[in-house]
């Protein structure tokens, strides 16, 4: 399976998972909370796919993304806004990475701890089942949504996975 076909298949799978969790999901058009605070772990195929789109952006967007990358690198914070987020929209949306597609979903980790999305702290996804300390989620997703586990499930070697900004050496 090539990477584009994999992403299309993954989108179908994730769509079903979002549907199964819809009572806890507050995602709305125009919300970019998932892209404003994170480290965005990316695999090499993720980055190649994203950069393919980046190379075709109009010059003005190209310049803005490059300025964002420079600002994040200068700030050296572990959590940062994604450089590809422009005016609240992802400028490489169709080419976004695996982690971008899983944004907003919670899942049960092997240690039986539910991994919640960052936006739960903004009163968004899963805030109805999280009191700030304890998660009370009756039917969690039980497959791992970590990037390496997803890649493994689909028969890809994960190779290197690192935060988005670290791909810009």
Binding site for ligand SF4 (CB under 6 A): 35, 40, 82, 84-85, 90, 92, 96-97, 100
Cβ within 8 Å of residue 147, ≥6 positions away: 41, 42, 43, 46, 97, 98, 99, 158, 161
- Which residue number, 97 or 140, has a Cβ lying nearer to ligand SF4? 97
- Which residue number, 79 or 139, has a Cβ lying nearer to ligand SF4? 79
Structure tokens at 166: 């670290």
CB of 121 to ligand SF4, least distance (A): 17
CB of 36 to ligand SF4, least distance (A): 9
- Which residue number, 44 or 135, has a Cβ lying nearer to ligand SF4? 44
CB of 72 to ligand SF4, least distance (A): 11
- Which residue number, 24 or 103, has a Cβ lying nearer to ligand SF4? 103
CB of 92 to ligand SF4, least distance (A): 6
């Amino acid at each position: 399976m090539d990477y584009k076909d994999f992403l299309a298949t993954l989108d179908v799978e994730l769509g079903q998972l979002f549907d199964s969790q819809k009572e806890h999901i507050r995602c709305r058009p125009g919300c970019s909370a998932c892209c404003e605070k994170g480290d965005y772990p990316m695999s090499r195929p993720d980055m190649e796919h994203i950069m393919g789109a980046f190379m075709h952006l109009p010059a003005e967007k190209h310049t803005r993304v490059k300025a964002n990358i420079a600002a994040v690198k200068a700030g050296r914070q572990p959590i940062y806004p994604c450089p590809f987020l422009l005016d609240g929209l992802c400028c490489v949306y169709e080419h976004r990475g695996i982690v971008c597609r899983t944004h907003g979903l919670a899942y049960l980790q092997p240690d039986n701890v539910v991994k919640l999305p960052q936006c739960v702290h903004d009163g968004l996804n899963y805030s109805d089942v999280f009191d700030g300390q304890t998660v009370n989620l009756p039917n969690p997703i039980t497959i791992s949504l970590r990037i390496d586990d997803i890649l493994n499930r689909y028969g890809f070697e994960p190779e290197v996975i690192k935060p988005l900004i670290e791909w810009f050496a």
